[in-house]
Chains A and B, each alone.
Chain A
Amino acid sequence: MAMFRAGLQRLSNVFNGQGGILSRLITQNAPTTNVTAPNTTKDVIATCNKLIEERTSRNFAIVHLLGKQWRVTDGDLLVVEGYWPPNIGDKIKLDKVLLAATKDFSLIGRPLVQPGLVTVTATVISKGLSHTRTHFKKKRRKQFMRINFQRAQQTMLRINTVEIANKINEAPKNVF
């Protein structure tokens, strides 16, 4: 706990009171007494918005893509397997963001973070096939042997940016 406290010492200066709304829960020091609950919530949101504006650290997000969840950050390379229509050079916005966070706070979606808050952009950089996978079966003493070869389609994605917009807790616009 001591280490944890030390890590968050700086944060505790930033935050007047402890707590969170849909953001990180600050659970370290004894809560300061002079801040009432509703104020604290607002303060936390305001502080998070300020932190976003300052862009103090790199963001990461967990996105849902082709039935899998990926933890991505700026400049990541993803290899997606299976049939997927986008072509080389396409710029894509990954909308299904389940969680986004920076060094100082996390945004947790239920199940998704509100649309427009977190923007994850990616570029398709290559499409191709995987290495050949050999599917080999053999039964002993039964004269049974099968061999097949398969290659899966692979799409390589470069994550360009993971950006958190400066409007936590604004009323969500229904984009979808």
Chain B
Amino acid sequence: MVFLTVANWIRARGPDEFWRKRRIFRLAAHYTGRRRNCYSVAVRNVHRALAYATKARKLKKEDMKVLWDTRITAACEQHNITAFSLREGLGRADIMLDRKSLSDLAAWEPKTFHCLAAVAKEKLNLDNFIDGTDKKEPTGINLNLKDVMLEAWLKEKK
């Protein structure tokens, strides 16, 4: 189409109807029933799906964070230490592991996580830090801090 006047150009509704609809139908190809075959229904569903997909990219990251926190909390309960004091202790000891790697260790490397929990608790003991968070009935086994011989290491200033 050739537009000789601007007015016509503004009024034009984009590509030809067939191609405009085809774009939508291609995205709706895997739907069933009228959602797939009837344009007015298909276009609503495709738009909603695309909007969900856009929002979900952010939601996925938030969901992963919640999942990691759940894993860390569960592993902490095993050792009778709260997730808060684990993070606080590791932070004070300059161990900069993030949620992702901590939950990774909690799930797949329990021995290493055990050590980290012991380090955190020992550091808090050395700092005389009192964990004021509400604790549940302890369900795990208390960490055996007798064998942690990191006093010099944890007290050294960086």
Contacts A69-B98, A110-B94; A24 near B115 (Cβ below 8 A): yes
Is B76's CB within 8 Å of the partner chain A?
no
**Complex Cα gap A18–B144 (Å):** 11
Q: Which of A26, A40, A99 is B97 in contact with, Cβ under 8 Å?
A: A99
Chain A residues bordering chain B, tally (CB within 8 A): 40
Which B residues, 18 to 69, have Cβ-Cβ distances below 8 Å to chain A? Answer: 47, 50-51, 53-54, 57
Contacts A68-B100, A135-B54, A136-B51; A106 near B146 (Cβ below 8 A): no
Contacts A69-B100, A110-B94, A110-B158; A40 near B149 (Cβ below 8 A): yes
B116 touches A108 (CB 8 A): yes
Contacts A71-B101, A98-B97, A111-B95; A24 near B112 (Cβ below 8 A): yes
> A1 contacts which chain B residues (CB < 8 A)?
141
**Complex Cα gap A37–B151 (Å):** 11
Which A residues, 51 to 88, have Cβ-Cβ distances below 8 Å to chain B? Answer: 60, 62, 68-71
Nearest CB in chain A: distance from B118 CB, A: 5
**Complex Cα gap A28–B144 (Å):** 8
A101 touches B149 (CB 8 A): no
Closest Cβ neighbor of B114 among chain A residues: A27
Is A94's CB within 8 Å of the partner chain B?
no
Is A125's CB within 8 Å of the partner chain B?
no
